[in-house]
Amino acid sequence: MRFTLSSTALSSKLTALSRVINSKNALPILGDFVFEISDNVLHLTASDSENIMKTQLDLTESDGDCRFAIDSHNLLEAVKSFSEQPITFDVSLEQNIVKISYQNGLFKLPIENADEFPMSQPVSEFAKTITIPNAILADNINRSIFATAQDELRPVMNGIYFDLTSDHLAIVASDGHKLVRNKVFTIKSEQPAAFILPKKPANLLKNLLGKDGGDVTIRFDERNAEINFGDGTLQCRLIEGRFPNYNSVIPQNNPNEIHVDRLALLAALRRVQPFANGSSNLIRFHVEGSTLQLDAEDYDFSKTATERMSCDYNGNPMSIGFKGSSFIEVLGNFDCPEVIVQLADPSRAGLVLPSEQPENQDVLMLLMPMLIND
């Protein structure tokens, strides 16, 4: 059986699929790509047993249908360096060999029986559905994923929580010290529903979703989700369990507001942070009038740093401590020119909001304070 297709199109699809495959697999065939040719279309599949990604591309020509598996590493290394050109696969299912021809040569690779590849677990017929614009989902995953935890004792914190209510869709992530909550007001449902998307499929979507138009459809039940985007599908196992009540930790009255240039504060924190204590990474924020002062110190190594910058502040003088690396992550995951830092007192969580919210959305990030010695 023979088929021909574009080398760069194949390389692009295989590169995306390869992110699913683990370096070590319980089943050797999970290190393979599955090729399935049907009606002049190539369907490609890769899996790590918990996540299955599928995509497809049109063939230039083919003389039949077939299905086989081929080692992902060898094939990807072979095709990713090709310039744009047609490449032809000659498949022998009897000899379990594929011959791949291109402009200046050919190579041969062994193939395996694709029937040994694990089948996906489909979502149930009672699955709920969320339809969300591609760009909005991409933005919210990009904005949230840094706040997920890596916690063996509380696995529910290791993913992104999708909370569909009658008012909005909330997309939330938290590791217990920082929290990101995004509300999308254009997506709502009279029947509440929720699921926790693990970090790996979230990262896969982060790399695959673009800013182009189109919608992403998420069908999910209590255990599995099926995410359809463009010409691809991602099926994944969800994290089971109850996500903490994130609304209860978000303070409702932080009257003291700092309006400050985001990039200026980010640059100042990056300059000061190397002087903070290596274990605590504590940076002291002191705000008074129109001045925000950042202080870091590590007396074990006789290091200190202070930097002042202008801001707009409407409250009483205050000193509060935050973990420098966490604050840098928070600021780095906004794309607005100015942020608002809302504070109540040095013992309560601080909120960071964009000066202008995205259209039909509400975004906030929360940071727990650290104890400082006055």
**Has residue 373 got a pLDDT over 80?**
no
pLDDT at 69: 95
Distances (CA, A) of 184 to 131, 169, 362: 12, 5, 7
Q: List pLDDT tens digits, range 149-191.
A: 998 899 999 999 999 999 999 999 999 999 999 999 999 999 9
Mean pLDDT, the chain, rounded, equals 94
Confidence of residue 372 (pLDDT cuts 50, 70, 90): confident
313-323: average pLDDT: 95
- Are 258 and 291 within 8 A, CB to CB? no
128-154: average pLDDT: 94
pLDDT at 210: 74
Q: List pLDDT tens digits, range 23-75.
A: 888 888 999 999 999 999 999 999 998 999 999 999 999 998 999 999 999 99
Q: List pLDDT tens digits, range 245-291.
A: 999 999 999 999 999 999 999 999 999 999 999 999 999 999 999 99
